[in-house]
Amino acid sequence: MSEYMPPSGEIPVLHEDSDLLIVDKPAGLLSVPGKGPELADCLLTRLESAFPTARLIHRLDRDTSGVMVFALTAHAQKHLNLQFEQRKTKKTYVARVKGRLEPKTGDVDLPLIVDWPNRPRQMVCHETGKAALTGYRVLKASDEESRVRLFPHSGRTHQLRVHMLSLGHPILGDELYNPETASQYPRMMLHAEELRVNHPENGKGMTFRANAPF
């Protein structure tokens, strides 16, 4: 992985109430601290300075941008954790991938596991992998690249990145799974565009969105 150079600037807040904090994470910023003082700067730490009770619910990879939800109370944290565990949330991503992806819609149903000798890489393993399912829809395509909307139905580490790679259409700018394109793009072309959750207090469905910056 390249040297950690987190972006500066304010974190865009999409929504805030007594229970929830929704933000648009910039690409290049860790969700939580890494090992060592050089990896201390992260989204959670930055948010805690303004929202001291912010509690982590889920993560996005360092080089993925987009919508993340944090809880502001213990009750909200428990409620949201259950929603993620029981797959009651709905997540939508946008990505730019290599080549013309066909057919235009489909599902990738391939089990994933950590590739131990090559951590943090993950890989498909039909013997010991954990079930992982991703739906996709092509938005536009050329012979060089396709713009796709991705719908993860599970939350495995690097799921979208490995599933696209398994189709032969890796995400552009991905240092880990498509390193030959990393220098050609300013970032990995993967963005968490939309997240739907139920509010911890009243159960009302709420959708939060941040348009892709690419």
- Is 41 annotated in the active site? no
Instruction: Report angle CA 178, 57, 163 to the nearest 5 degrees.
Output: 25
Q: Around 34, how many Cα atoms within 13 Å sit in the side-chain half-sphere?
A: 15
CA 99 to chain centre: 22
Q: What secondary structure, in 3-state letters, does 58-92 show?
A: CCCCCCCEEEEEEECCHHHHHHHHHHHHCCCCEEE
- Coil, helix or strand at residue 206: strand
Q: Which of 17, 19, 41, 61 is catalytic?
A: 61
CA distance 160 to 134: 7
The stretches of the chain forming alpha helices (DSSP H) are 43-50, 74-85, 159-166
Distance CA 75, CA 131 (A): 29
Rounded CA separation 174/102 (Å): 21
Active site residues per annotation: 61
